[in-house]
Amino acid sequence: MSDIWMFCHARYAYTGGNFAGATSSVLGGYSSPRNFGYIYFKGANDTISPEKVSVLLSRSAEEPWCAMAGDTLIMRDKGKSIFTEFDQAGENEFVKIEKLSAELARVCGESALKKYREELDAINRECHVLKKEKITLSGLRNLYVLKERCRALKWKIALEESLN
């Protein structure tokens, strides 16, 4: 029989008389169980696929969420699951950021908007650092943050252009 459980892996030790503990569920604790991790127990005759993982997690995980199933990244938001190869998801985000960055670079060249160039350059530097590294789930989250920073900068510039 297969089952999926929420869990919070914790390690602790008493060293020097003081308690020292660590948990692998970031921000997960008994006051915030929605941040616990999930563990899947596969039955002896059960098969598993990214689609099945999506269905199982959809019953209990709070959206939005993402999970890995082999090399497939599963992203779920607003009742819809998207399946993509993990490496492709990273490449897609780099392309989106580079497109937004090029658009912003053209706008930031105008004299009235040069003050935004420093912010754009910082985003580009962070993107360049991420591009040199092997993409991990954490790195992919960082790419999403960079993309949102580009979008916020785009709206900040658009707002200033419309008000001046």
> Which mean pLDDT values do the consecutive 10-residue runs of the chain (164 residues) have?
73 65 60 71 84 87 83 90 90 93 83 80 93 87 91 89 77
- What pLDDT does 7 receive? 75
What pLDDT is stored for residue 100 in this prediction?
92
Q: Are 164 and 112 in contact (CB under 8 A)?
A: yes
Per-residue model confidence (pLDDT) at position 163: 80
Residue 75 resides in a domain: no
Q: Is residue 154 part of a domain?
A: yes
Same domain, 150 and 97: yes
| Co-location of 92 and 146 in the same domain | yes
Q: At 146, list the tokens.
A: 């960079």
Per the structure, the complete domain to which residue 119 belongs is given by 86-163
39 and 94 together in one domain: no
In a domain, 57, yes or no: no
* CA-wise closest residue to 143 among 111, 108, 98, 110: 98
The reported pLDDT for the residue numbered 30 is 60
CA 161 from centre of chain: 31
| Confidence at residue 158, expressed as pLDDT on a 0 to 100 scale | 85
Domain total for the chain?
2
> Given this model, what pLDDT does residue 125 score?
94
pLDDT at 56: 86
